[in-house]
Amino acid sequence: MALKDIVEQTVAGLGYDLVEIDRSAGGLLRITIDLPWSPPVAPGEQGAPGDQFVTVEDCEKVTRQLQYALEVDEVDYKRLEVSSPGIDRPLRHDQDFARFVGHVVDVTLKMPLGSAAAGQVSPTRKKFRGVLERADVVVDAGPHAERAWQIVWRDEPVTKPGQKISKKRLPAPTQALGFVLSELKEARLAPIVSFKGRAQTPDQEPQPSDLN
């Protein structure tokens, strides 16, 4: 059985979601898990499990079961590390995107925008940061239809320390980038540290200027 299948079945069997598998040099096998999430039943509600987080006990339980499963299937590794997602949690499935609507995310396209940039951003640009939103459309992309998503942002000019901003200056226009998952090379929660918690909301303006 393939490593991904072993890990996925073991993690799911214990009631957790598999977020990421990483095999590093030196035989380190790093597994990232999270608590399962379900979409809200009614508008305005939050999906389960809400503000719960993976604990040390959760990681220890998964570690013990994985060690047994990997030994049975004779998987070669030196050290196993099970942890919860960091502030730059990867987003890989539609459910991940649905879960983090309203958060600031970093997306990297497989291909630059090219002519689709329409003069709004650099045609060679592939990296963007913005607030994740539902596009509420389904796109026929290849053999399967895919749900579309979008991020929105404002490219505000960078101000120097102590520089005064004119009250007459108009805010930068809001821009949007629509995409389907098959167009992405990578997507992650933006690693923005907040003293109010990790969750970011549309009221917090993303600053993507360093992603050009």
Pair type for strands 79-83 and 104-109: unpaired
- Residue whose pair of structure tokens reads 């459309």 in the numeric block: 137
DSSP structure class, residue 123:
T
Q: pLDDT by residue (tens digit) across 112-168?
A: 888 877 778 888 999 999 999 998 788 776 667 889 999 999 876 666 777 676 677
Establish whether the linkage from the previous residue to 49 is cis, with ω within 30° of 0: yes
pLDDT digits (tens, 9 = 90+) for 55-113: 999 999 999 999 999 999 999 999 999 999 989 999 999 999 999 999 999 999 999 88
Q: Dihedrals φ, ψ of 115, to 5°?
A: -65, -20
SS3 state of residue 38 = strand
Percent of the chain having pLDDT more than 90? Answer: 53
Of residues 211 and 194, more confidently modeled: 194
- pLDDT bucket at 8, cuts 50 / 70 / 90: very high
Q: Which domains does the chain have, with CATH numbers?
A: 3-83 (3.30.70), 94-211 (no CATH)
Identify the pLDDT of residue 141.
Answer: 60
pTM here is 0.76
Q: What is the pLDDT of residue 40?
A: 72
Q: In whole angstroms, give the CA distance from residue 114 to residue 79.
A: 44
Residue 16 and residue 54: Cα distance in Å, rounded? 9
So what's the pLDDT on residue 145? 83
Q: Hey, how many other C-beta atoms are within 10 angstroms of the C-beta on 203?
A: 7
Segment holding 27, helix H or strand E: none
Distance CA 50, CA 180 (A): 26
